[in-house]
Amino acid sequence: MRKNVSLKIFAGLVFAFLIVPLLIIIVTSFGTNSTIQFPIQGFTLEWYTKVFNNESFMDSFFLSLQVAFLATLLALIIGVPAAYSLARHTVFGRNWIKSFFLSPTIVPGLVVGYSMYQFIVIKFQFPIIQGLLLGHFLICLPYVIRVVGSTIEQLDFSIEEVSWTLGCTKIQTFIKVVLPNITSGIFASFMLAFINSFNNIPVSQFLSGPGVTMLPTSLMNYIEYNYDPSVSALSVVLMLGTVVLMFVIEKTLGLASIS
């Protein structure tokens, strides 16, 4: 096939647009100057030690990890059986229920966080951390319903019938036959939900308080008052995390499965 040169140049520029800003961050994170400079003068790892010694960054990092993990887990526990039921059972108003499960994606994240803060934290005096966990559960649930749902729909129904015929109860079949066959869907939805919860800002924006600040929020607050390369250094650490995740996804499922 003949290659179209102008298309190649156009696409090349778009890829540069996508990747160069992030490369610049990587470079600036090694600069010795106390404000961000490009090109950098001198080379130092000082900003990385600053990040790892910054208590509020580290605390919020671990909080973000915990919340993302627990919210995803809760979404899987509730979402996987629900997705199964929606795919296999005759349910009255099935499409309606499915859209309802997916509805957290339609409501803007900031609105989710705002209304939940007002209702749960102000009106019912729940601790902020519980609101945060529930808010992130709402982010995670649609991924589980959508990804696991489509995996179950592609699963051959007759293997379940065989299992029932051979004497397994419905619950045994679900655990012994269905679950092992949909692990890739569960893993993909886990990854997607985890990444999106970990990176989410709008939902957490209202649901934060003393000692309860998620990493992106904490980074954002820092940026509003500081312009030093430790922001770049933390960004690089987060990008490394992304690279590791992408590598894991590529090796297990293939990146195509999440896009």
Partner 1 sequence: MTQRRTPYLILAPGLILLILFLVLPLISAIFPTFFNGGFTLSNYTSFFLDEYNFGIFWRTIKVSLIATLICVVLGVPTAYYISQSPKKWRGLLMSITLFPLLTNSVVRSFAWITILGQDGILNNALMNIGLLSKPLTLLYTEFAIIIGSVYLFLPLMVITLVGILENIDSEIMEAAETLGANRLLAFVKVILPLSVPGIIVGSILVFTGSMTAYTTPQLLGGNRNIMLATFLYQSATALGNWQGASVIALIMIVATLIVMKLFNWVAGRMDKRGEANA
What residue type is 153 in one-letter code? Answer: E
Which one of 45, 111, 159, 162 is in contact with partner 1 (CB under 8 A)? 111
To the nearest whole angstrom, how small is the minimum distance from the Cβ of residue 166 to partner 1? 20
Among 51-59, 133-141, 156-164, 181-189, the segment contacting partner 1 (CB under 8 A): 133-141
Residue from 96, 119, 157, 164 touching partner 1 (CB under 8 A): that is: 119
Taking the complex as a whole, how short is the minimal distance between the CB of residue 14 and partner 1, in angstroms? 4
| Element containing residue 27 per DSSP (H, E) | helix 5-28
Distances (CA, A) of 183 to 27, 110, 142: 39, 32, 17
- 13-to-10, 39, 93 alpha-carbon distances in Å: 5, 21, 48
Alpha helices in 103-228 (DSSP H): 109-116, 128-154, 158-165, 170-173, 179-181, 183-199, 202-206, 215-225
DSSP-based helix, strand, coil % in the chain, nearest 5: 80, 0, 20
Q: Based on the shown chain and the rule CB under 8 A, indicate whether residue 139 belongs to the binding site for partner 1.
A: no
Stretch that binds partner 1, among 35-43, 44-52, 149-157, 178-186 (CB under 8 A): 35-43
Q: Toward partner 1, which CB reaches closer, 67 or 219? A: 219
Which of 58, 202, 253, 257 touches partner 1 (CB under 8 A)? 202
Using the rule CB under 8 A, is 19 a contact of partner 1? Answer: yes
88-107 binders of partner 1 (CB under 8 A): 89-91, 97, 100-101, 103-104, 106-107
Triad 237, 242, 245: Cα angle to 5°:
125
Which of 223, 226, 248, 252 binds partner 1 (CB under 8 A)? It is 223
